[in-house]
Structure 1
Amino acid sequence: MKDIHYCLKDDVKYPTVLKNIKGAPDIIYYKGNIEIATEYKSVAVIGSRKCSARGMQLAYDTAKYLAGRRINVVNGLALGCDSAAIRGALDNNGKCIVWLPCGLDNIQPKSNRKLADEIVDKGGCLVSEYPEGTELRKYNYVERDRLQSGISQGVIVIEADRNSGTMHTADFAIRQYKHLACYYYKMLENSTGNKYLEENKETIVLKQLSNLEEFTDDILHEVQYEQMTLQL
């Protein structure tokens, strides 16, 4: 596949925020403009593949709002909430960062290949810790989930059941000390995961636009430092 590049952890193009997480990849592969990850703040907008119509609309509207504030939208290109969020961002001239759980020559799901091309064409990027030719394996999804939160300053869970893969990213966000928010579970149908997150006092519960504004204000005003390793 043409135009796939790579960068090492000590390269200038390697996203600064990603360097700071435990288990950051020594090398990442990308297609598109990886530098947006350092130039702008990023928020992962994630949720279940089998989400309700309300969840789809919230994903679209949330990402559209973030794009309007020049915040990158991050997720895994999955069907459902992820795809709706990407569409919302692109429709408002936003940029997206998509993490794949396999090589970048193997876009998954295949039905989203055109959407993946549009992400790159509109200034975003596709990223993976796996080289070309790497096939999709089930455990790769969980490994990938740590990177969705890792490259972001914040994570927003739109709609998720307690046992959905979305919760892996939310758990990583907590461990990585990222800003975490979810929509109020009573607003949605498949939201046992949202209810679980609301029991964590660190989770911001979004019930109206003003809550989303406050959440993004905190992220935009946060100063990002790169961790320094002391050489002895």
Structure 2
Amino acid sequence: MGSGLDDRAARAAWSGLAEPGDLVAGALVATLGAVDALRLVVLATDVGVRAAWAEVTGEAPGGRDREQDGALWAVPEHVDARASTARPTTARPSTARPSTDPQRADALRVEAAPADSPRDDPRRVDPSRAHRAEQGAASWPGGVRLARAAERWGLRLRDAEPSRRLAALATLGGSFVVPGDPGWPVGLDDLGAAAPFGLWVRGEADLGALLARSVAIVGSRASTTYGERVAVDLAAGAVDARACVVSGGAYGIDAAAHRGALSRGGRTVVLLAGGVDRAYPAGNARIFEAAVGGGGALVAEVPPGSVPTKGRFLQRNRVIAAAARATVVVEAAWRSGAMSTAHHAARLLRPVGAVPGPVTSVASAGCHRLLREGSAVCVTDAAELMDLAGLVGSDLVPERVGPPRLADGLDPGVVRVLDALPRRMGVPVEDVAARAGVTLGEARAALGLLEFDGLAVRDGDRWRVRPN
């Protein structure tokens, strides 16, 4: 890893060192800054975490104010990507739950061998050194956790040279956007330590402006014709309301949402689980290129060349939830990635909507679950989606009214007279008054108004409703 890196380059390196949702990495960068945090990892491969900490901070491990470094020691290791298995809470920000896997700690060793060791593979871990380093770190808060994390990051140092990754992005005409840039989407800051270190972007680099007025439309890959039609209509309607459509680029509902936005000449953001140089799934490559060409963007939190994995797909969902103003689930199975996105959104206090489907459809079981549990509100069209997003009150759904009725706007007494009139054979005013339960004077006055409005017709001394 070259020396003299600035914050942007260090963040580019971190996006390759740490897996998405690595809370220890996020907290370390928040505590030390991206450059010093990276320096600590490099040093730790040679001297261990305890000595590296002292070298980087100039202080003994554990010597700093516990509150100052509290974020580093209090977080679990990773965001809970299985958010769909639990009901959301209203706490903010809620980014993770501690791991409950007892084998996770045992599977991790502490410290990688030096990369310049002449007798060992640079990726080989010396168990005895790992044990000693862990013992040395155990005397200060979070030391063991940080030592284990530094080992897993250290194994990737050789491939994390940021200049190569940034050069690859430049050849694609892309940009690397980091917190503090004018184009950074500030909604991602709500993720706290789980926020991406930066975003690798092809297309519109000003994601802040692009996502300021945005809605996420997500759902199942195994979608139905009904679900895809709804997704297309919702996305097209959102574009008509000047909103950007966000989704994950997968087959099914995601692809339908992107198509719906593009069909109206709108902008759409595709959040990928792999690098922006990889069209995955390949069958949606034309959609991805159309998104870039139409003023939207392909976005990833992992560098070019990164392979999409199941874990990265699940972690990608938290970014979708944080990026958009609201999330609507069109179709989702009982447990699915779309449900994960909905629960991440709810935990971030983002509005969540769900589209109902046939009660017999497995594809809508997750949507019905969200609605039944009160985790989402019912969304049936784009107007309701924009209302859900609540964009400065400018997109409230207008009050819905049925077809106009003859009696609309009439005094209740006049309505009673109108209801008393026959439609075919006229009747005398006395019969009208008797049927309506009003006096003769009230009946004559009401009939005069109804005749003036074109609602009643008189044949001699008989009255009836004017035919349509």
Q: TM-score, normalised by structure 1?
A: 0.89
State the match for 2:263 in structure 1: 91
Change (3 A) 1:211 1:12: closer
1:64-83 equivalence runs, <5 A: 64-83=236-255
State the match for 2:368 in structure 1: 195
Identity among equivalent positions (%) equals 28
Change (3 A) 1:156 1:188: farther
2:276 maps to 1:135: no
Contact 1:160 1:191 in 2 (8 A): yes
CA distance in 1, matches of 2:246, 2:235: 9
| Between structures 1 and 2, the one with greater helix share | 2
1:10 maps to which of 180, 190, 199: 180
The farther-off stretch of 145-154 and 22-31 is: 22-31
1:58-207 equivalence runs, <5 A: 58-186=230-358, 189=361, 190-207=363-380
Q: CA deviation at 1:208?
A: 5.2
Query: Structure 1 residue runs of 4+, over 4 Å off?
Result: none
The farther-off stretch of 55-64 and 158-167 is: 158-167
Contact 1:46 1:82 in 2 (8 A): yes
Unaligned runs of 5+ in 1: 223-232
CA distance in 1, matches of 2:392, 2:205: 19
1:35 maps to which of 206, 215, 220: 206
The farther-off stretch of 141-150 and 37-46 is: 37-46
Change (3 A) 1:4 1:208: closer
Q: CA deviation at 1:139?
A: 0.5
CA distance in 2, matches of 1:173, 1:188: 27
The two structures, once aligned, show a CA RMSD in angstroms of: 1.9
Task: Give the structure with higher Rg (CA).
Answer: 2
Q: CA deviation at 1:10?
A: 1.7
Query: AA paired with 1:3?
Result: G
Contact 2:184 2:207 in 1 (8 A): no
| Between structures 1 and 2, the one with greater strand share | 1
**Partner SS, residue 98 of structure 1:** strand
2:198 maps to 1:24: no
State the match for 2:384 in structure 1: 211
1:135-179 CA-to-partner distances (Å, cap 9, x unmatched) read 122100111010011110100100111122111101101111101
Query: AA paired with 2:179?
Result: K
The farther-off stretch of 199-208 and 126-135 is: 199-208
How many residues align? The count is 221
1:93-150 CA-to-partner distances (Å, cap 9, x unmatched) read 1110111001111121011111101000000001000011111221001110100111
Unaligned runs of 5+ in 2: 1-170, 395-468
Q: TM-score, normalised by structure 2?
A: 0.45
1:26-71 CA-to-partner distances (Å, cap 9, x unmatched) read 2111011132543541111011011111101000000000000111
CA distance in 2, matches of 1:98, 1:124: 8
Q: CA deviation at 1:185?
A: 3.5
CA distance in 2, matches of 1:209, 1:116: 23
The farther-off stretch of 75-84 and 34-43 is: 34-43
Contact 2:234 2:381 in 1 (8 A): no
